[in-house]
Chain A
Amino acid sequence: MIEFHNVSKVYPNGTRGLNNINLTIHQGEMVVIVGLSGAGKSTLLRSINRLHDITEGDIQINGQSITEASGSGLRRIRRGIGMIFQSFNLVKRSTVLRNVLSGRVGHHSTLRTVLGMFPAEDTELAMDALERVNIRDKAYSRADQLSGGQQQRVSIARALAQQPQIILADEPVASLDPLTTRQVMDDLQRINRDLNITTIINLHFIDLARQYATRIIGLRAGEVVFDGTPEEATDEVFSHIYGRSIHRDEVLGDHPPGEDIVTVIPDPAPARTDGVKS
């Protein structure tokens, strides 16, 4: 369970990144956070494992305050939270397996990990994690030999190797093509369901949010302006979150048959031809 109590973040230049956030996210939820860029999605997500510090309030992970944690206590909380990034953040010159094993370092002594002496169970765990995202056969390839989608799956495997209770994904599909996007989202959904890992994802595609989330949180100017089920998140709600009509580039398109298509309200501004993804 993740609890936000009156969380605010003010940047040194006075900008309010987050404004009095109160949220409770339960174990096993698949939460998608939506909002315009600059609305505070990334700040919110990164405050959960304290890659970003907050200036007011408290965040508790399973009853432990990460806001007050430091040193080994902080690292102990962090190792229970996997994180997936837009740019994958793999060490490109290292092998896939070593990248995945790097997710285990929080569980062992410094000396042991520095010498690369991971126990056999860890290697097995890493291989299982790779199996779960269907790239076990790439274990001994160098990470930079893989395609973008494969690299993102390696980073999911790295997060899985942590055996986390929570996975955070910051725009995990923003640099992938639509087909790979669905594969990666499917992986995340399957992991969420099979392992009951709380998954929190920042997305800017409205249709993806509706399709995969069990709960959608809308952020606008650092405040929660919507919190509900995907069914409740209508086009009007999205317009409210965004403070304007929905643009075509906020819809991934390429829907599986039978899915609802988001109504795109034409932009009154000059015709857009760039953002259409198919």
Chain B
Amino acid sequence: MKAATIEAPQRYKRYLTWIFFVVLIVVCAIQTDVTPYQLIVGLPQMGTLLAEMVPPDWSYLPTIWKPMVETIQIALVGTMLGGILAIPFALLCAYNVMPNRTVSVPVRLILNLVRTVPDLLFAAIFVAIFGIGPFAGMLAIMFFSFGLIAKLTFEAIESIDPGPLEAMTAVGANKIQLIVFGVLPQAMPHYMSYLLYAFEVNVRAASVLGLVGAGGIGLLLDRSLGLFRYDRAAIIILLTLVIVLVIDYGSTVLRRKLL
């Protein structure tokens, strides 16, 4: 009898949750004019666009090659710098390494703040400060990956085996020795994996940075779209797709070997 009375409100709650979500989605869709009608009306337009993309303008390839390489370079440098910067912050955040909350809580707050800013907004801000060009893009990628990697890494650090830390305390190690001998060897494979993941994400992110003037292939994409040269946009998109696929594949293989 008792079990039945306990179960009933739970089921009730589950139904309510589902109803809540459906209502939420429908209301949002109506408010933002997301209707099947829009989709049907837009479809022919999509067809025209696709038709104009074919055939892609292959002669444009040499022109976009250099900005494409620049895009990868922005992603690479930004990810590396952000990743390096993330290490001390991740260590300061992790409660098992830094039990002193007066340090870890404010550092976590900074990290959370950094992560609330989208990468394109970072890019727009840095373009305003440092002017148009890849430097602003690199900075944007750096801050974006810093927030991402630091957050994932400190969570990985908090989940490491506490045993070796205890052992290092017992042998008379100081904090830095404890980190180098107890924490880093355990957290390193996770960190490397996050670094590669961030690089993957950043190559994609860097290819649209040009939309706000922060260098890379995005500038040419923006220009091609603005001039209605969809055949050129098509080749840019194709090349980006190939590069992203290659990098994704490479990083997946590497990450599997790490863990």
Q: For A74, A81, A91, A94, which residue has the most chain B Cβ atoms within 10 angstroms?
A: A91
B interface footprint on A63-99 (CB within 8 Å = 1, 0 otherwise): 0000000001011111111110101111111100010
Nearest B residue (CB) for A95 = B185
A269 at the A/B interface (Cβ < 8 Å)? no
**Distance in angstroms between the alpha carbons of A49 and B173 in the assembled complex:** 13
Q: A75-B173, A78-B169 are in contact. Are A113 and B180 (CB under 8 A)?
A: yes
**Chain B residues numbered 119-170 whose CB sits less than 8 Å from any CB in chain A:** 161, 163-164, 166-170
Q: Which of A51, A90, A110 is the one whose CB lies under 8 Å from B169?
A: A51
A36 at the A/B interface (Cβ < 8 Å)? no
- Give the contact-size bracket for chain B: 20 to 34
Residues of B within 8 Å of A74, CB to CB, are: 172
The B interface, classified by DSSP as helix, strand, loop or mixed, is: helix
Nearest A residue (CB) for B170 = A83
Whether B167 pairs with A85 at a CB distance below 8 angstroms is: yes
A41 at the A/B interface (Cβ < 8 Å)? no
Interchain nearest-CB distance for A31 vs B (Å): 18
Q: Which of A75, A80, A90, A162 is the one whose CB lies under 8 Å from B174?
A: A75
Whether B163 pairs with A87 at a CB distance below 8 angstroms is: yes
Interchain nearest-CB distance for A173 vs B (Å): 16
B182 at the A/B interface (Cβ < 8 Å)? yes
A interface footprint on B163-205 (CB within 8 Å = 1, 0 otherwise): 1101111111110110011100110110000000000000000
Whether A91 pairs with B171 at a CB distance below 8 angstroms is: no
**Distance in angstroms between the alpha carbons of A109 and B91 in the assembled complex:** 21
Nearest A residue (CB) for B165 = A89
Whether A51 pairs with B166 at a CB distance below 8 angstroms is: yes
Interchain nearest-CB distance for B125 vs A (Å): 36
B interface footprint on A158-181 (CB within 8 Å = 1, 0 otherwise): 100010000000000000000000
Whether B171 pairs with A158 at a CB distance below 8 angstroms is: yes
Whether A105 pairs with B166 at a CB distance below 8 angstroms is: no
A103 at the A/B interface (Cβ < 8 Å)? yes
List the 8 closest pairs (A to B, CB-CB), nearest first.
A106-B172, A79-B172, A89-B163, A78-B172, A89-B167, A83-B170, A75-B172, A105-B177
Residues of A within 8 A of B (CB): 49, 51, 72, 74-83, 85, 87-94, 98, 102-103, 105-106, 110, 113-114, 155, 158, 162
